[in-house]
Amino acid sequence: MRKLSNYLLEQQLITTEELEIGQREHAVTGQNLGSTLVANGFLRRKQLRAALLEIDPAALMGEEDLSSELKLPRDFMLATSTIVAGDLGDELVIATLHPDPEYVYSGMTERMPNKTIRMGSAAVLEIHRKLRTMTESSGVLDRIKVAEDEDVNRIIETVLNEAVRIRATDIHLEPTDHAFNIRFRVDTVMSHEFTLPLGKYDRIIARIKDRASMDVSDKRNPQDGAFSFTRHGVTIDCRVASVLTAYGEKLALRLLNKDTVLIDIRDLGIARTEEWLELTRQRDGIILVSGPTGSGKSTTLYSTLMSIDRLHRQVYTCEDPVEYRIPYINQCQINYNNEPPFDYAAFGRAILRLNPDVIVFGELRDEETVKYAIRSAETGHLVYGTVHNNDAPTAISRLTELGATIEHLKHLIRGVLVQRLARKLCNSCRGAGCAECRGGYHGMVPIVEFVALRSPEDVTALHERRLPYYTFLDDAAAKTAAGLTDCRELSRITAQEMKFCRDGRCSVPNYSQCNNYLN
């Protein structure tokens, strides 16, 4: 069989140095080479799937961590004894025991029009095993059964399964007078998913808190905890927070899926990506990432750090909390309970003694932290920082409010990226609403402002709003023209009427359905 390492090198998917590092770690841990390369960020999971399918399709069948949740036509697959042998994103490889493979191929193509279907092969025993698993899980997400199921563990697993299936980022468990509700946040929008009897609530809350290493007996004080679970071979971290409300204790669960965040920066949909990446090759200065809470700043920063030459540069981050661990980056956790507290300012005081090349401040929130960020940039380090503001000029104004002077900043600021998240139009229905999406939308796309500052005069001109740059309106118009989102969604996230319909670029199929169509 052709070796995976040789194939990856031939296709220039990894470097010789990355392969050597992966092989050393493989020799120590015993984990297979492909998974080791993915864990270190040297290879994308999709690239590994494609490589395994090319050189040894049978090997992919045993790689549980390479499978993904799809909206599969399970009834059809069970009826035709068909399984998924590999998922490449846009392409799906299937294997079947049906006597008429052409019938299966046609049926799958009809039922999954957004996927390219390819026939593959698999061992008969493996097909039977996967069919048995599908049979056992086919009723798990039945909402009626959930309300009747007395098994607390099963209810919790059902909720987690459904959250993963529909790509929820948050789960909220909220008691009322007579029942309790479970709501999910999907693509930044809250939706009601389950209502369960109040009699089950205390046991469910206690079980989740115990799993998250929280104090089950303490229901009055806010608490934080965490646990991990695995779905389809992917480990998902779950951060749990509790608070006492008028109706009782409420839990909020944040789901952190590394595979959906640590992706190539070019795949995020950020405008002017190459100009943004050019900033990562700077040797010093300050780069600002800003936007409101929940605007995707962390995802942009993590993906940007993945693009940095981590093997040959010392990178340090200070985060609250560390959400995703990145190999070959030194990530420091804020700890306010420490004595003295380890906060952003304490990180700034300590970091220059640790021989850094790149320094990331999770938030520039006070005068002392800004002072150390400026000192780090002045002494020849590249500094990233996040701030909360609405546009590019006010990112600089925010630092001056925290004690920085424009005289200092104009020699240090290298660029500013401000972003918000908009829902993407569903590829299947283009906004009309269908079984594949939630109200016509599926997924997120960033709407950004970006400016690269190449001289002290540029910084001063931006601060005084005299410098032309790529604005939210520019990006909103481009994303609408490209059919990625529509003016109704842009109006929702900006709280102002978007007018891109006037020149016919609105992506809503029927203008009469668009609230912002201008006659």
3-state secondary structure 419-479: EEEEEEECCCCCCCCCCCCECCEEEEEEEEEEEECCCHHHHHHHHCCCCCCECHHHHHHHH
Residue pair 393/409 in contact by the 8 Å Cβ criterion: no
Range 143-258: architecture per CATH: 2-Layer Sandwich (3.30)
**Confidence band (pLDDT; 50, 70, 90) for 144?**
very low
Name the DSSP letter for residue 198.
G
Question: What CA–CA distance (Å, rounded) separates 173 from 182?
Answer: 5
Residue 42 has which token pair? 């040297």
Give tens-digit pLDDT for 95-110: 888 888 888 998 898 8
Residue pair 214/225 in contact by the 8 Å Cβ criterion: yes
Residue pair 379/352 in contact by the 8 Å Cβ criterion: yes
**Confidence band (pLDDT; 50, 70, 90) for 272?**
very high
Give tens-digit pLDDT for 393-411: 999 999 999 999 999 899 9
- pLDDT of residue 201 exceeding 60, the answer is yes
Q: Domain segments of the chain: what residues?
A: 67-136, 143-258, 262-429+445-472
Of 61, 24, 21, 64, which Cα lies nearest the Cα of 43? 21
In words, the CATH class of domain 67-136 is alpha beta
Q: Helix, strand, or coil here: 367?
A: helix
**Confidence band (pLDDT; 50, 70, 90) for 459?**
very high
- pLDDT of residue 512 exceeding 60, the answer is no
- pLDDT of residue 20 exceeding 70, the answer is yes
Give tens-digit pLDDT for 43-94: 887 788 788 777 766 555 544 433 444 567 887 888 888 988 877 666 788 8
What is the percentage of the chain residues whose pLDDT exceeds 70?
88
Give tens-digit pLDDT for 483-507: 899 888 888 888 776 666 544 445 4
Residue 395 has which token pair? 């990112």
Least confident of 46-60, 191-205, 372-386: 46-60
pLDDT of residue 508: 46
Pairing of strands 330-333, 315-319: parallel
In words, the CATH class of domain 262-429+445-472 is alpha beta
pLDDT of residue 423: 93
